[in-house]
Amino acid sequence: MIRWIIIVVLYGIFNFYAFQSVKTLTSKKWIYILFFALTILVLVNLIYQFMSPNEGRVLTPAKSYALGFFLTVVALKVVLISFLFTEDVIRILYGAYQKAFGERDSFYLPSRRKFISQIALGIAAIPFASMLYGIYKGRYNYKVLTYNLEYPDLPDAFDGYQITQISDIHSGSFDNKEKIEYAVDLINKQQSDVILFTGDLVNNQASEMDQWKSTFSKLTAKDGVYSILGNHDYGDYMNWPNEAAKQENLDYLFQIQKEIGFDLLKNESRFLERNGERIALIGVENWGAGFKQVGDLDKASKAVKPEDFKILMSHDPTHWEKVAVNHPLHYHLTLSGHTHGMQFGIEIPGWIKWSPAKWRYKYWAGLYEQNKQIINVNRGFGYLAFPGRVGIWPEITVIKLKKGPQVV
């Protein structure tokens, strides 16, 4: 309750200040009413959706929309306030300067304030419109990203071997079956030799997958579909009546993965064979800095020989950074996800790659190389919390392995 009181008070002050920009631009009462109606509506809806104490951090589509619209409105107001606050500071400082030196010309003019408000509103419309686009279109703007990776020690039989990686499905957030089926078809159209899913099938509960089993069971590849667990798959982010109920949920998640044809690797390995040669596929449970750490790389690699070509599936890229890349075994390729690229950023190939995710993760999207080992951090298939994507689109990764000098 204290948390909500603080949010309401700060939100009220925040919006009252932003309203000054509207007052400067117009005197029409209906616009004032619309401004405050929208402001109050998104806050009330947010409180209503999140007020249940029994659901913990369970994120339903309704909650995600409430949070999404709240953040969209806040983004608009942040830009408005930043301009108004800057103008106010300059005006106050200049007023103090005038007083100190006995000058009397007025720095504040209504026309200047109106001009500032117009500029602020125009710029604020950019993130506002972008976030609305991200909610209605961006979250289903699937992109197929293709990489060709060369390795000198790749077995000859696997020259040209193709992998499709998907990650972070978060089925509890979905509400558009047609779009999800389109994405599954798009994955199958890549005709890869193997499909690898790197964790977070659900948000909180295994039952979130019930209505999507028939859709994801359509995923097919010559050498199968393999998966691992992500931090959300364990049910740690909701309140369970007891540990038995929590374990029952996890067991049901294991059952679902089997039903839809996913071969779940829980700190274990498999071998993909072709013409008498093989590559090792290693899957660890979740291990992340600041998150659940039950991944056991040594256990998962127990059957793997040092000379094997190795593909590691590990949900959180911090596991690669802090454990795998310095492990005595050489893991040629690691596939991760988890970051979602924060679902917000700017990417222009060859020019800019930025997201707030970089403030939290050293490796947050795409390919990275260290010690002649490569990691791909998938931007995620689904979405979580904010029900959209802006600039960081849902990703289907296609990796072609080639025999040759190592190239990233």
Domain map (residue ranges) of the chain: 2-136, 142-403
The answer to whether residues 335 and 379 touch, using CB atoms and an 8 Å cutoff, is no
Task: Please tell me the distance from the alpha carbon of residue 329 to that of residue 322, in angstroms, as a whole number.
Answer: 14
pLDDT of 53 higher than 60: no
**The domain 142-403 belongs to what CATH superfamily?**
Metallo-dependent phosphatases (3.60.21.10)
Stated pTM of the model: 0.90
**Tens-place pLDDT, residues 358-381:** 999 999 999 999 999 999 999 999
Radius of gyration of the chain (CA): 25
Q: Long-range pairs for 342-346 at CB < 8 Å and ≥24 separation?
A: 342/392, 343/134, 343/380, 343/383, 343/384, 343/386, 343/388, 343/389, 343/390, 343/392, 344/134, 344/386, 344/389, 344/390, 344/391, 344/392, 345/390, 345/391, 345/392, 346/391
Instruction: Considering only residues 2 and 128, tell me which one the structure prediction assigns the higher pLDDT.
Output: 128
Task: Please tell me the distance from the alpha carbon of residue 172 to that of residue 383, in angstroms, as a whole number.
Answer: 9
Find the mean pLDDT for residues 22-38: 89
Find the mean pLDDT for residues 304-323: 97
CB atoms within 10 A of CB 156: 9
